[in-house]
Structure 1
């Protein structure tokens, strides 16, 4: 499929995993639907759990979509919900959120929504068997941007760890497609979370795909270099062979467990 983005590639990736993801969806029903973490209709999250134990680590997934589209999924759509279902099967309390989108949303509202969702989980996760002191956030593409922005807005974000898949952190120039979110003539460099992600002491797991567009690969390498210079060591990281920008998150929950197993091990190592 190459390194390009677009609806045909997205649909082709979805078709690759549809059969397996439908089985997962039938196996892991939702625990709680449309929990409101804010007043906007998009400020909703769903919860999944299979364990009967309490005090479970909490894993929140933040979907991608170029600041314009995306949904947490559910009974009718497995995409994005599959990550929360997979985390539930791993023995965690899985969560997946919606957030405000263009044309309503502007920077930094995506990051604000991540912060609000984490605050909601801190206050309510125990009601569903989760441990509010052990929250790990996972974001892909725009979702990774919003997590990184949340770290910029709130350096003390109450998260035990963050997984950033194919995000943009400020190592490459502004793309015209992103200008509606950041604003025309905006101080793009000042709004990007590069410094916050480089400086955070929250444990990070960073990934990009072998067939990510070059911009995302450059962002991955830039963040790795920033972390090395700041901390003297690189964060836990991986480059997913054989995957592209869409398939890296979409395949979580299938028989290809390479990334899933690394994320589960990361959650266990940071949320215990």
Structure 2
């Protein structure tokens, strides 16, 4: 059994003191807590190529963090932001950490509500996968070995792109592993934030059809599903519901785990620190093979 690193006591205590909540204050305090220990350095020979466009909209761009060696697995990271905000520049340390782990890290922006609504986010995830499969070899990546990681609203978009055949990427078979972190997968009325209502629409009659996990039809990719110890209850409940649905659909329990000591955002920020406790479970075969 692999023992994961623990946070220093003062960091763990600060996260626990914030409790199972997530709002602008918790976000700001969490980012400030991890900024001093976040490593943004690239490995020897690594390179970052910023603002590479995969579509015509100004939001349809990615930053590519290359590890400086050929034939590397590719990890696409789709961040959160409540469906209405978020920017890849906030995750430079995550991209650099992926490169240090030996992967080509692709950190993405996507179109946001209220200007762009369902299913634009899932369509953008699909477009990113196709873009990576078609062109990532130029950055040292394996076009047929793609891992897709989504966090929060990003996890909702990734789930829709992986589970819903209506928006599935053309190069779906190139996706080897999917990791979903604390996402919204079912559109229960009490679980919808204002941003989620803007994206999915206010008409509850449409929600069953628009839910990211409306179907669980998929390919051969492995799946990891995580929640955080101090996640708001809505994400724990949604993650557990998806885990049960996957167990019923696949006739075996999915890889469903809790990231201890962390809250909704700190679980992904931690990947860029000496206390990384998530890369092994998120990246799956990308790390197993390399």
TM-score under structure 2 length normalisation? 0.85
1:63 counterpart (74, 79, 101): 79
What SS is found at the alignment partner of 2:144? strand
Q: What does 1:223-242 align with in structure 2 at a 5 Å threshold?
A: 223-242=242-261
Query: 1: distance between equivalents of 2:192 and 2:142?
Result: 39
Q: Secondary structure at the match of 1:68?
A: coil
How far did 1:176 drift?
4.8
Q: Distance in 2 between matches of 1:94 and 1:236?
A: 23
Alignment of 1:148-227 (within 5 A): 148-151=159-162, 152=164, 153-154=167-168, 157=172, 158-170=174-186, 172-173=188-189, 174-177=191-194, 178-186=196-204, 187-197=206-216, 199-227=218-246
Q: Helix, strand or coil: the match of 1:59?
A: strand
Q: Are residues 99 and 226 of structure 1, via their aligned partners in 2, closer, same or farther at CA, if it must alter by over 3 Å?
A: same
Determine the structure 2 residue equivalent to 1:15.
Answer: 32
Per the alignment, do residues 209 and 224 of structure 1 end up closer, same or farther by CA in structure 2, a change over 3 Å counting?
same
2:128 maps to 117
- Aligned partner of residue 80 in structure 1, secondary structure: helix
1:96 matched to 2:111? The reply is no
- String of CA shifts for 1:137-193, please: whole Å, max 9, x gaps: 111000001101112121762411111000111174351512111112151111012
**What is the match of residue 37 of structure 1?**
54
CA RMSD of aligned residues (A): 2.0
Residues 116 and 5 (structure 1), Cα distance of their counterparts in 2 relative to 1, 3 Å cut:
same
Contact map agreement 1:60 1:94 (CA 8 A) in 2: yes
- Paired residues in the alignment total 263
SS at structure 1 position matched to 2:22: coil
Distance 2:75 2:118 in 1: 24
Q: Give the 3-state SS of the residue equivalent to 1:196 in structure 2.
A: coil
Kindly state the Cα deviation for residue 40 of structure 1 after the two structures are TM-superposed. Answer: 0.1
Unaligned runs of 5+ in 1: 74-78
Q: Deviations over 1:3-39 (max 9, x none)?
A: 1121111011011111121xx2144575211111000
Contact 2:130 2:169 in 1 (8 A): no
The answer as to 2:148 corresponding to 1:137 is yes
Contact in 1 for aligned 2:179/2:283 (Cα 8 Å): no
Higher deviation after alignment, 174-183 or 215-224: 174-183
The answer for unaligned runs of 5 or more in structure 2 is 1-17
Moved over 3 A (4+): 26-30, 171-174, 195-201
Residues 43, 98 of structure 1: 8 Å contact kept: yes
